[in-house]
Structure 1
């Protein structure tokens, strides 16, 4: 596995490693956190007759396997949209992958694309809450509005947006990088899946933004 340079962020007396694989390793809880994997998206398009490579889901699962081998987490927390649509052939790959880590505690905080019946996840020993509170954090899929953040019981970690940050060169060149965005009461993670895309979002002046390069996370 390639050597990667993560960025360390200390928040609420917790240490978070922001990884180039677009996930977070939370040291105190020994947990990996990822958002918007969208397994099954390529299978969904293939089922509709659109030519998409078959190995995209396998590549995303391989990255997860590498992270598990490196950090040896006790928990893996998905912040929604783990599987993109209804059951398809990519689910079989996911079920086989799950068998490799029977002791790993997996929680899926359900997102808008998680339409597969919970019973399928429960058969794989995966929990499926709509939100998940642990330590100082409240794990969600959708970001909360500023009005709702006022009463949120914990610092929110979420996904859904597939955030990106636009970088400008000396000329007129621009490049949009996936990014982690940490605000005063909420953080939005980049989408983990390769077949997901990103959208440059408007950040607040006091946000802490970390762009993701191929093998490095940088503060921007």
Structure 2
């Protein structure tokens, strides 16, 4: 995979999406994975109290605003296009093992469909079928899709671990050109890695115990 695995959990209102994500996060945490969560809403929102200093600073015209303490931070960032939102999500959660979004059915990400009723064809028609990686329901269901009971949390966690989390963990180099991810094969990854390592080794005055390097290049005219 070429970026952190991001999964949308979709379904009708009151289908159990939030409860499912809560239980799944708890199960994945037992395996020491780093998990990010997001809630998509169609309504605008303010993360701060109107009139407070941090609110005023953001409203003065800054694109990014926020508030932080010694142990946490909250950020609000404006964007103009959906592609910007996707890239921002990937940038913010880049160091997670997996990100779970509640909702965002129009997004590009793979989806887990939580059924409210046991009528797959009725509920799935709102989505592109090839984007559905799993379906959750109650009782038996005959389908070619991966099907789990709503409460089979351990099985679902194992499925995500094998299909998404572990494959991503072996990816070392992620390349974006004009905000679009570019898939690199193992040979090209090795070349890029060796070049970057050689450049870093030649630098003086930096910590050589490196866990991660973030390199951004903006081409001039």
TM range (shorter): under 0.3
More helix by share: 2
> TM-score when scaled to structure 2?
0.24
Q: Quick one: higher RCO (CA 8 Å, sep 6+), 1 or 2? A: 2
> TM-score when scaled to structure 1?
0.24
